[in-house]
Chain A
Amino acid sequence: MKKRIVVTGVGIVSPLGVGIHENWERYLSGISGIKEFEIEGANIRTYAGRVSGPELETYVPETKKDKVDRFASFALAAAKMALADAKIGEEFDREKIGVFIGSAYSGLYSIEKQLQVLYLEGPRRVHPLLMQNNLANAPSGEVAIELNLKGPNVGFSCGGCSGDYSIIQAFNTLQRHNIDAIVAGGTEAPLLPRVFEELGPKGLFQPNSADANRASCPFDIARKGFILSEGAGIVVLETLQSAEKRGASIYGEIIGFGTSYCHNNSENQKNTNFYSKVSCIKQALSSASLDPVSVDYVHASGISGIREDVEEAEAIKSILGDNDRKTPVSSTKGSLGFSIGASGPINIIFSLLSLRKHILPQTNNLENIDPKCTSISILKRSDFRPINIVLSNNFDYAGNNVSFVFQRF
C-alpha cells in the first residue's frame, strides 16, 4: 500500500534572511533581498541575492566554520532549522532518518580557489579538504554527521531542479524503504564570476535594470531576465504514520508531482518549452487524481525570465483554464531571486506556509503585468483566504521542470 508522505519541518536560508519567519514576514512586507553586487575580480557591478554572513553564522556550528564550502554551510543551517522545526529530538531513531540534498554547482567556491592554487603554486599545495568539500553530496554528508542521521544519504544534481528531484527521490525512498523521515531539499552558492560569465551571454539575466529593488520582477513588462541568488531550502519529509505517532505538526501532504525535461536545441519544434511545462503540471495533477479546478493557488516558478514567464503563464492558463474561480498565482522571485538548485524547495516552503497561514503572498515588484501574462490571475497584493490545494512549480531556464501538489492536512 502506498504510504502517505507529509512535511513536518522546514528551514530556509535566503537573501531575505536566515529563518522561516524572517523570510515570510520580510517577504510579505515587500522587502527585497536583491542588492547591487560587485563580481569579485571582474570589477563589474550587477545585482544578486546574497545571504547575510552574520545571520548565517549563528546557525553554522563552530567546528564547521571556514571548514566547509559555502553551499554546505547553507544546507547545515537550513537542515538544523528544519529538524528543530519538526521537533525531531534525540528519541527519534537516527537510523531511520535519511538526507537527500541537491545542488547544481556543488562546491564551486572551493573548486575555484584550488584551481588557482594548482596553477600558481603547484599540485602539492592543493588542499586536502578540496575533495570532501566540492562534492555534490557534501551537504548531505555534513548534515548527516552534524545531526547524526544514519539513513540513506545521497546528493542530487539537475540544474535548477536539483532540490526538487531530491524531494521526489526522498518521497520514493520513503515509499520503498523502512525509514521514517528524510531531510531533503536543495542548496546553492553560485555567486562567482564564472557563473555570471557563463549565464550572461546566454541572455538569461540582464543586470542593467533601473534599480536593485526592481531588478527581479516576475511577469512584469519591464523584466529583463532572472537575478541570480544563493541560499538553501530544506524540508523534513516524514511518513504520515511516523508523524501521527509522535503527534507532529503537519504543514501539508505531498499528493502528487510531475516532471519534464526539454532540451532547447534548434531541431526542436516551436513551443516545445511551453508543451513541456504543460506536461509537467498535467502529470502533477493526474498523479494527485485532481481536477484542475481543485487547485486553490499556484505558487509559480516565475523566475523573471523573458521567455520563461510567458511560457509558464500560458501553461497555467491552458490547464486551469479561464474558470470563474480565477485561481490566484504568485511568484516570490522578485525578492528572492533565482537560487538555482535551492529555488524549488524554497518555493515549496513558501507554498506550505500559505497552506498553514491561509495567506497567499503578493508578487513583489509586479507593477505592470506583461500583456502576454494577463490570462492568469497574478496577485499584486497578498490575500487572506483559506486554501486546501496548492500547486508549486519550479521551472529552470535549461529545460528542467518539476511541479508539486500539496494538500492541507
Chain B
Amino acid sequence: MVELTNKQMRVSSKMNDRMEKNRVVVTGIGVITPIGIGVDSFWKSSMSGKSGISSISRFDTEAYPTKIAGEVKDFNPGEYMHEELANNLSRCSQFGLAAAQMAVKDAGLDFSRIDRNRVGVLIGVGIETLLYYDEKTAIEKNNYTLRTKPPKDNRNASNVISGFFNLPGQSLVGATACSSGNQAIGIARNIIKSGQADFVLTGGVEAPIFPLNLAAFCSLRIMSKRNDQPEKASRPFDRERDGFVMGEGAGILILEREENARKRGVHIYAEIAGYGATSDAFHMTMPSKDRIQICKSMRLAIGDADLDIQDIDYINAHGTSTLANDSGETKAIKTVFGDNAYKIPISSTKSMTGHLIGAAGAVELITCILAMENSIIPPTINLENADTECDLDYVPNKARKKEINAAMSNSFGFGGNNSTIVIKKVF
C-alpha cells in the first residue's frame, strides 16, 4: 500500500469525486530541442541548466540585428525516414515526424494491433506556410547551408505524420502562433473526451530559423541583440533581459483515455487535467495591459482540473525574456494566486531552449510532466538580478527537488490568444 501525503489525498480524492470516466492521460513523449534530442538527453540538459543558444550557423546574419538562436545541432533525419522523404519535407515536418516516432515508441503503440481509424493527429505549428516558403526560397537562392535540396511537399505537418503511419483519423494543424503547442494539446484532449478518437498524437513543432522569419521578428524589435553572449541572451525575469531568442524543436505527446492506458498496461506520465483558453481581443502583437484574459485562462484551466490555487505545485511560465511578457505574466500570476504566488516555484525553461514558437507550449508541458515524474524542477538560467517587477520564486539557475502533484503551463500567442494547461499526477 502506497502511503499518500495529505496533499496527494486531496488531489486524488478530488479526482475520485469527479466520477469522470474518460480522464485523458499522456503515455508517450517525443522531444527535440536545442539542448537535447529525446527525453533523456533533454532532461539531463534541463537539470544541469544548459543553454542551447549560439550564433546562427546556417545563413549569413551580417545584415540582421539579431544573429543568435537555439539551433538543433545533431538532428539526422535519416535516422527517422528514408532519404527521399527527408528531401521532400521541410525541416519543420522532419522534426514533427521524428518526434512523433519517438512518442509512438515510448507509448508502446503498435498500429497494426489497434483500429487506425481511431487515431487522430493534431499538431500545433505557429508559422507553417511562411516557413515552408522561407526554407524553400533560401535553399533555392543558396542562402542556406544546412541542406541542398529545397523541400517540395507542402502538406501540413499533421498530414505528413498521418500519412507516414497510415492513420485515417482526424488530421489537422492547430495554429495560434507562440501558443500553438499548448492549445493543440488542449484541443486534442477534447477530441478524446468527445469519443472521436482513442489516441491522438499531439503537441507542437517549429523550425523557425530561416532568413525571412528572422527578419520579420527583428522588425518587431522584440528579439535579444546580445549577440556577443549567446548563452546569456535568453534571461527571463532578469533586469538585463532584452528580448526573446528564437529556437527550433518539437514536442509530441500520445494522449489516450486513462482506462485505455490501464488496459494496455503502459506507463502513465500524467493526466491532462485542465485546459483554459481566452482571447485579449485587443492587439495582434501586444499583450493587453490589464492581463484580464491571461488571468482568466489560468483560472479556467485550474477550474477545469477541479483544483484550487493552493494545489498547484509548479508553474512553467511562458517567460519569453521580453520586457512586456515577463513583468505582465508575473503580475497576472499574482492576481490569480494572491499570496500563494510567492510560495509556488515558477520557471521559464525558454532560458535554456530559447523560444520554440509553435513547439514551445508542447516542450514546456513535457517539462512539467518530467518535473512531476522526477520530483525536480528545472531552473530559470541567466537569472542574475531579478527585475523589480519580477519578484516571485523563479527557481534561479539551479534545479530544485520538490514533490509535484499538479503543475501548470502557460502559453500566449500573437493574435492575442492565451492558453493554459494543468496536469495532475496519476496515482
Docked complex: B249-280 residues within 8 A CB-CB of A = 277-280
Q: Smallest CB–CB gap between A347 and chain B, Å?
A: 18
CA distance A259 to B300 in the complex (A): 30
Taking a contact as CB atoms under 8 Å apart, the answer to whether B277 and A136 are in contact is: no
12 A-B residue contacts at CB 8 Å?
A106-B128, A114-B212, A126-B219, A140-B417, A150-B280, A150-B281, A154-B176, A156-B172, A157-B128, A157-B172, A279-B117, A398-B159
Looking across the interface, which residue of chain B has its beta carbon closest to that of A124?
A: B63
Q: Which residues of chain A have C-beta atoms less than 8 A from B156's C-beta?
A: 104, 157-159
Q: Which of A167-175, A212-220, A355-363, A371-379 forms part of the interface with chain B?
A: A167-175
From the candidates A148, A150, A158, name the one contacting B171 in the complex (CB within 8 A): A158
Whether the Cβ atoms of B168 and A260 lie closer than 8 Å is yes
Query: Measured between alpha carbons, how far is A194 from B282 in the docked complex, in Å?
Result: 34
When the two chains form their complex, are residues B279 and A263 in contact, meaning their CB atoms are under 8 A apart?
A: no
For residues 99 through 137 of chain B, which have their beta carbon under 8 Å from a beta carbon of chain A? 117, 125-130, 133-134, 137
Nearest CB of A to B407, in Å: 21
User: Considering the chains assembled together, what is the distance between the CA atoms of A287 and B219 in angstroms?
Assistant: 48
For the complex, is A33 an interface residue (Cβ under 8 Å from B)? no
A136 to B415, CA, bound (A): 10
Instruction: Given A149-B279, A153-B416, A259-B170, check contact A137 B212 (CB 8 Å).
Output: no
Contact call B281/A135, Cβ cutoff below 8 A: no
Report whether A111 and B170 are in contact in the complex, using a CB–CB cutoff of 8 Å.
no
Is A387 among interface residues, defined by CB-CB distance under 8 A?
no
Contact partners of B64 in chain A: CB under 8 A: 123-124
Complex CA distance for A169 and B63, rounded to whole angstroms: 42
Chain A 111-132 residues near chain B, CB threshold 8 A: 111-112, 114-115, 118-119, 122-124, 126-128, 130-132
A226 interfacial contact with B, CB 8 Å: no
Contact B414 A156 (CB under 8 A): no
Which A residues are CB-close (under 8 A) to B159?
158-159, 261, 263, 398-400
Q: Say whether A158 contacts B173, CB under 8 Å.
A: yes
Total count of chain A residues near the partner, CB < 8 A: 70
**Which one of B141, B168, B183, B214 has the highest number of Cβ atoms from chain A below 10 Å of its Cβ?**
B168
Option from A99, A111, A142 in Cβ contact (under 8 Å) with B284: A142
The A139-189 residues at the B interface (CB cut-off 8 A) are 140-142, 144-145, 147-159, 161-162, 165, 168-169, 172-173, 175-177
Contact with A along B160-202 (1 / 0, CB 8 A): 0011001111111111110000010001001101101000000
Q: Which of B368-427 contact A (CB under 8 A)?
A: 413-417
- A251 at interface by CB-CB < 8 Å: no
In this complex, what residue of B is CB-closest to A176? Answer: B190
- Cβ of B342 < 8 Å from any Cβ of A? no
A149 near B281 with CB under 8 A, answer yes
Verify if A392 is at the interface (C-beta below 8 Å from B).
Answer: no
B281 lies within 8 A of A148 (CB): yes
A261-B279 in contact given A122-B63, A159-B159 (Cβ < 8 Å): no
CA distance A280 to B399 in the complex (A): 49
For the complex, give the distance between the alpha carbons of A122 and B211 in Å.
10
Asked if residues B216 and A126 are in contact (CB atoms below 8 Å), the reply is yes
**Cβ-defined partner of A263 (8 Å) among B162, B218, B416:** B162
Contacts of A153 in B (CB 8 A): 176, 277-279, 281, 415-417
How many Å from the CB of B295 to the closest CB on chain A? Answer: 12
B416's partner among A114, A141, A147, A194 (CB-CB below 8 A) is: A141
B220 within 8 A of A: yes
Say yes or no: is B283 at the interface (Cβ < 8 Å to chain A). Answer: yes
Which parts of A244-286 form the interface with B (CB within 8 Å)?
259-263, 265, 276, 279
A261-B212 contact, Cβ under 8 Å, with A136-B128, A150-B279, A154-B277: no
Tell whether A105 is near chain B: CB-to-CB under 8 Å: yes
Q: How far is the CA of A318 from the CA of B212 in the complex (A)?
A: 49
Bound CA span A135–B63, Å = 24
Q: Is the CB of B172 within 8 A of A265?
A: no
Inter-subunit contact B284/A132 (CB<8 Å): yes
Cβ of A107 under 8 Å from chain B? yes
Instruction: Check B234 for interface membership: any CB of A closer than 8 A.
Output: no
Query: Which residue of B is nearest A105, CB measured?
Result: B129
B54 interfacial by beta-carbon distance below 8 Å: no
Most buried by B among A107, A140, A153, A176: A153
Residues from chain A with Cβ under 8 Å of B55 in the complex: none
Q: Type the 1/0 row for B207-229, where 1 means its CB is closer than 8 Å to any CB of A.
A: 00001101111111000000000
Given A106-B129, A123-B64, the answer on whether A198 and B154 have CB atoms closer than 8 Å is: yes
Given A111-B130, A134-B129, A152-B279, 11 additional A-B pairs, CB 8 A: A107-B130, A122-B63, A124-B219, A130-B212, A140-B417, A150-B281, A152-B417, A169-B172, A194-B133, A279-B117, A398-B159
A240 to chain B, nearest CB (A): 17
Number of interface residues of B (CB under 8 A): 66
The answer, yes or no, to whether B285 is at the interface (CB within 8 Å) is yes
A94 interface residue per 8 A CB criterion: yes
Report yes or no: A135 in contact with B187, Cβ–Cβ below 8 A.
no
Give the distance to chain B from A148, nearest Cβ to Cβ, in Å: 5
Complex-state Cα separation, A152 to B301, whole angstroms:
12
Which chain A residues border B137 with CB–CB below 8 Å? 115, 119
Q: Is A98 an interface residue (CB 8 A)?
A: yes
**Inter-chain contact B129/A154, CB cutoff 8 Å:** no
Taken together as a complex, chains A and B put the C-alpha atoms of A149 and B133 apart, in Å, by 32
Q: Are A156 and B212 closer than 8 Å at their CB atoms?
A: no
Question: Chain A residues with Cβ under 8 A from B133's Cβ?
Answer: 108, 111-112, 115, 194
Question: Using Cβ atoms and an 8 Å threshold, which residues of chain A touch B162?
Answer: 261, 263
Q: A107 — which chain B residues lie within 8 A by C-beta?
A: 129-130
Task: Say whether B90 faces chain A, with CB atoms less than 8 Å apart.
Answer: no
Q: CB-nearest residue of chain B relative to A260? A: B168
Complex alpha-carbon distance, A138 and B156, angstroms: 17
A128 contacts B219, C-beta separation under 8 Å: yes
A172 with B129: CB separation less than 8 A:
no
CA gap between A263 and B166 in the complex, in Å: 7
Judging by beta carbons under 8 Å apart, are A140 and B129 in contact? no
Complex-state Cα separation, A173 to B280, whole angstroms: 18
CB <8 Å contact, B219 and A176:
no
